Amino acid sequence: MTSGRIARVWFAACAIAFVLPLHSPTALAQEKVALELVLALDTSTSVDAAEYELQRSGIAHALRDGRVISAVESLGAGGMALAIVQWSGPGKQVLAVPWRQVLNGRQMRVLAREIEAMPRKLSGFTDIAGAIDFAVHSLQSNRFDGERKVIDVSGDGTADGRNPSGARDAAVSQGITVNGLIIHSVEYDLGTLARIDLRAHYTRFVIGGAGAFLMEVEDFDGFAEGIRNKLVREITGPLFAAAGAKPAL
């Protein structure tokens, strides 16, 4: 075989090796799970260091709770895939805990330890729309294919700028449910009106999709109990999952 022919054969083999992984069924396959869940955690400036710690430890505590573990184990084959996003102002979102598949209590406890060590990465304004957009992209680009896809947005304030309803509607159009957990922050609370406004903001502009719901806690001290109850409800699934179901508060 001439050197020219050897070279052509070698280049052809390299081209095949380069193209095959991009188009092979194995490369494109996604792992089936019952639920893909993003916990979108508010780290804006209104959340101080102690309040961030209450959120971080609250999630870890919830993942160790027997009711949450039972809910995950009841999902059966595939279990749940979970990730944590930290978010604040425009362009400030980060995948703080990458996607993890969990099927049982042992894996939940391992994930809880990882979350306890999760450093705070962001601060700034409050861009809920950006948080939803980032979470949607993370759901679309991970290695899992969930029967249900849910974004869990928690926060202690309304959006500073862009109305989040557009991002919410885009997520819902792709079969994603957006739920909310609002935290009434004492130092920024202006009384009953502030509470009503925050609740109304999340109801009108943030939550949406099949079986979407909103929960609230009185302060950051109540976050652990709130996120535990919310996780049980999200993991076990909505009572009325028909498309277009009205949000349940």
Model confidence pLDDT, tens digit, residues 58-115: 999 999 999 999 999 999 889 999 999 999 999 999 999 999 999 999 999 999 999 9
Cβ within 8 Å of residue 41, ≥6 positions away: 55, 59, 84, 85, 86, 87, 96, 154
46: number of Cβ within 10 Å: 18
Q: Which pLDDT belongs to residue 115?
A: 95
Share of the chain above pLDDT 70, in %: 79
- Between 161 and 166, whose confidence is greater? 166
The C-alpha R_g of the chain, in whole angstroms, comes to: 21
Model confidence at 48, pLDDT cuts 50, 70, 90, reads confident
**211: exposed, middle or buried (Cβ count in 10 Å: 0-12, 13-18, 19+):** buried
Mean pLDDT, the chain, rounded, equals 83
Among 159, 154, 135, 155, residue whose Cα is nearest residue 146:
135
Span 201-206, mean pLDDT? 95
Cβ within 8 Å of residue 185, ≥6 positions away: 46, 47, 51, 156, 157, 219, 220
Span 113-141, mean pLDDT? 94
Model confidence at 46, pLDDT cuts 50, 70, 90, reads confident
**What domains does the chain contain, in order, with CATH numbers?**
31-236 (3.40.50.410)
Q: Which pLDDT belongs to residue 236?
A: 92
- Between 246 and 164, whose confidence is greater? 164
Q: What are phi and psi of 241, to 5 degrees?
A: -95, 10
Q: What are phi and psi of 200, to 5 degrees?
A: -65, -40
